[in-house]
Chain A
Amino acid sequence: MLAFLGRRCLIAIPTIILISIFVFGLQKLLPGDPVLVMAGEERDPELIALLREKYRLNDPIPVQYAAWVGNIVQGDLGISLRTQQPVTALIAEKLPVTVQLAVMALIIALVIGIPAGVLSAYKKGTWIDWVANVVALSGLSVPNFWLGIMMILLVSVQLGWLPASGYVPLSEDPGQSIRTMLMPAFVLGTALAATLMRHTRSAMLGVLQSDYVRTARAKGMGEGTVLVKHALRNALVPIVTVTTLLFGELLAGAVLTEQIFTIPGFGKLVVDAVFNRDYAVVQGVVLCTGVAFIFLNILADATQRVLNPRMRQE
């Protein structure tokens, strides 16, 4: 397993380099000039020249790239053109917020999505399957911002159970932190639960037809054992893949949900940076998300190997 992880991490290096070239190149291709934004209304040519010199924007592009990568390797993602804060510090500040939201949303999605998918596959063609599918379709169709606003109206304004917005760090007050995060996590989680339920259902439908499930029944195993130990275990491979990708998407930032619940996460950081042509922040965030995706994929592959003994053969 260690050899496998080591090999996968080595293979990840060229991918990360490609992402960095892409991130860097995309910035150069985007219309707009951050120096003009920084120079303000007057656009003093001398100031513009000075700024270009300061940020080394006159160097050849490969040189700029090399300098950029050199800094990143040292943990320096640059300075935000707008707030003059180090990008690394900005990311370090926002990332825990987003990770907490993503993990809570994912737990909600798994707890709802997988049992619903298993049940609807097992009861295929009955009213249970029908209800599960209608609920899942609604979950996919209802926009997050609408569900978010409705939940604030009902749970916070009418019932007063949970705070409508805000953020408390987990380290400060874990209970309150989870309470403030519960509604946004639920809004995100239900949408993912729908996707997860559909994938679980189709994987289970395939597995429930298999000979070894019939063998398990022929041995006299109870339906619960047949479903979970014999069927779900073998259906987990596609489910793990989907779950990982969904988690990656959550990390990339849930812009609308963060706006509605005023959570200071990744989504808000990216949107602000894009609108202000804050190159360094956008680059830093995209790079960070890209690397996170790669490592999530490695994690998914490692999980598959644990689940599926046939994959363990070298």
Chain B
Amino acid sequence: MNDQPPLLEVRGLSVRIRGAARNLVDEVSLELNAGETLCVVGESGCGKSLTALALMGLLSDPPLQLMGGKALFRGQNLLSLKRHNLQQMRGDQVAMIFQEPMTSLNPSLRIGEQIAETVRRHRGVSTADARARALEMLERVRIPAAGARLDAYPHELSGGMRQRAMIAMALANDPAVLIADEPTTALDVTIQAQILELMRGLLAETGAALILITHDLGVVAEMADRVAVMYAGRIVEVGAARAIFEDPQHPYTIGLMSSMPSFGDSGARLVTIPGVVPSATAMPPGCRFAPRCPFVEDACGAQPAAKAVGSDHMVACVRAPLGVAA
């Protein structure tokens, strides 16, 4: 698989608020191979959602502004597509699921129509065929009484059902890439597990690749083939999921992993990373994690280059590679 060129290759993606001095998403580079699940993890405000919106051409401009970068997908740069071509791409070859199922569906259109319109748009099929496809998709996301749900309005469905409908809508045209921005964050824990299970099953069936944006390491452990860790707008570490979990190299990744509570140590204080994420106006010039890093040294004043520390494992830290894991 590694010999083939990646399905989606992002290089140097940068986003900032118009007129701001620093980028909110800074020189982000990612690779997504066909059929794999790449999890982008990081805390709130680290730029992971902005990265996803930028790839979809959905940045609200103004105030947000794309500062540069490329996203090569099947020979085209998604970031420089003409509006017409971008519209043909979106919802067809690249689709997206959003965090809030309660507000992401149009309240005054029936569920079936919301799925069918994207099918008609991209496949040019008849109204009846598009409706049949919508029904098929509702059945595939295992919505009970799918036939009746076609004519239901979003407010008549529960949060979990709405997110299933969103998934049905996103997968209706068999996209090659699905981008899911915190798809389970707004849902109950039990529903979360069902939705993740459903997504995994559907991806296996369709062969679509997934970029899953989450702050939940439990979800990452469940879903990821590869993981990218973002901190303050930059990718600090990226690699195979196993490598990231078993041999984290960046001090931020190590902190993130050890702040995951586990069953064994009930009663013990939760491990935290001291300090807070720097605000967009007060980004340090070099490594953005340096002010919170317990291992900070003089060299951290300059932006560290990404170094390969394994066959599929890159870290942006001056100390990498670490010696034998402590």
Interface membership of B303, Cβ < 8 A = no
Known A221-B117, A309-B153, A309-B155; judge A211-B90 contact (CB<8 A): no
Interface membership of B142, Cβ < 8 A = no
Contacts of A230 in B (CB 8 A): 106, 109
- B86-116 interface bits toward A, Cβ cutoff 8 Å, 1 = contact, 0 = none: 0111111001101010011111110000000
Asked if A211 contacts B104 (CB within 8 A), the reply is yes
* Distance of A234 Cα from B155 Cα, bound (Å): 14
Q: A215-B105, A219-B169 are in contact. List 10 more A-B contacts (CB 8 A).
A: A212-B106, A214-B104, A217-B90, A218-B91, A218-B95, A220-B88, A220-B121, A308-B107, A308-B108, A309-B107
Asked if B108 contacts A233 (CB within 8 A), the reply is yes
Asked if B98 contacts A310 (CB within 8 A), the reply is no
Contacts of B121 in A (CB 8 A): 219-222
Q: Ordered nearest first, which 8 A-B pairs have the shortest CB separation?
A: A220-B91, A219-B91, A220-B90, A219-B118, A211-B103, A309-B153, A212-B106, A211-B104
Interface membership of B122, Cβ < 8 A = yes
Which residue of chain B lies nearest to A125 when distances are taken between CB atoms in the complex? B62
Contacts of B90 in A (CB 8 A): 217-220
| Residues of A in contact with B (beta carbons under 8 Å apart) | 125, 210-212, 214-223, 225, 229-230, 233-234, 307-310
Which residue of chain B lies nearest to A312 when distances are taken between CB atoms in the complex? B153
Among B103, B109, B118, point to the contact of A210 (Cβ < 8 A). B103
Contacts of B322 in A (CB 8 A): none
Contacts of A125 in B (CB 8 A): 62
Contacts of B83 in A (CB 8 A): 223
Interface membership of B138, Cβ < 8 A = no
Asked if B155 contacts A221 (CB within 8 A), the reply is no
Task: Tell me the minimal C-beta distance from A63 to chain B in angstroms.
Answer: 53
Question: Can you show 17 pairs from A to B with CB atoms below 8 A apart?
Answer: A212-B105, A214-B104, A215-B98, A215-B106, A218-B56, A218-B90, A218-B95, A219-B90, A219-B91, A219-B118, A220-B118, A221-B91, A221-B118, A222-B87, A230-B109, A234-B107, A309-B108
| Residues of B in contact with A (beta carbons under 8 Å apart) | 56, 58, 62, 83, 87-92, 95-96, 98, 100, 103-109, 117-118, 121-122, 153, 155, 166, 169
Asked if B106 contacts A216 (CB within 8 A), the reply is yes
Asked if A310 contacts B153 (CB within 8 A), the reply is yes
Give the interface centre of A214, A218, A222 by most chain B CB atoms within 10 Å: A218
* Distance of A222 Cα from B155 Cα, bound (Å): 25
* Distance of A281 Cα from B122 Cα, bound (Å): 63
Asked if A211 contacts B87 (CB within 8 A), the reply is no
Which residue of chain B lies nearest to A124 when distances are taken between CB atoms in the complex? B62
Contacts of A210 in B (CB 8 A): 103
Task: Tell me the minimal C-beta distance from B283 to chain A in angstroms.
Answer: 27
Task: Tell me the minimal C-beta distance from B272 to chain A in angstroms.
Answer: 32
Give the interface centre of A210, A215, A222, A225 by most chain B CB atoms within 10 Å: A215
* Distance of A310 Cα from B169 Cα, bound (Å): 21
* Distance of A214 Cα from B99 Cα, bound (Å): 12
Known A234-B106, A234-B107, A308-B108; judge A219-B98 contact (CB<8 A): no
Asked if A215 contacts B88 (CB within 8 A), the reply is no
Task: Tell me the minimal C-beta distance from B161 to chain A in angstroms.
Answer: 16
Contacts of A310 in B (CB 8 A): 107, 153, 155
Task: Tell me the minimal C-beta distance from A123 to chain B in angstroms.
Answer: 12
* Distance of A210 Cα from B60 Cα, bound (Å): 11
Asked if A214 contacts B108 (CB within 8 A), the reply is no
Task: Tell me the minimal C-beta distance from B303 to chain A in angstroms.
Answer: 33
* Distance of A248 Cα from B122 Cα, bound (Å): 45
Which residue of chain A lies nearest to B57 when distances are taken between CB atoms in the complex? A217
Which residue of chain A lies nearest to B106 when distances are taken between CB atoms in the complex? A212
Among A212, A218, A307, A309, point to the contact of B96 (Cβ < 8 A). A218
Contacts of B118 in A (CB 8 A): 219-221
Known A218-B56, A221-B87, A233-B108; judge A211-B117 contact (CB<8 A): no
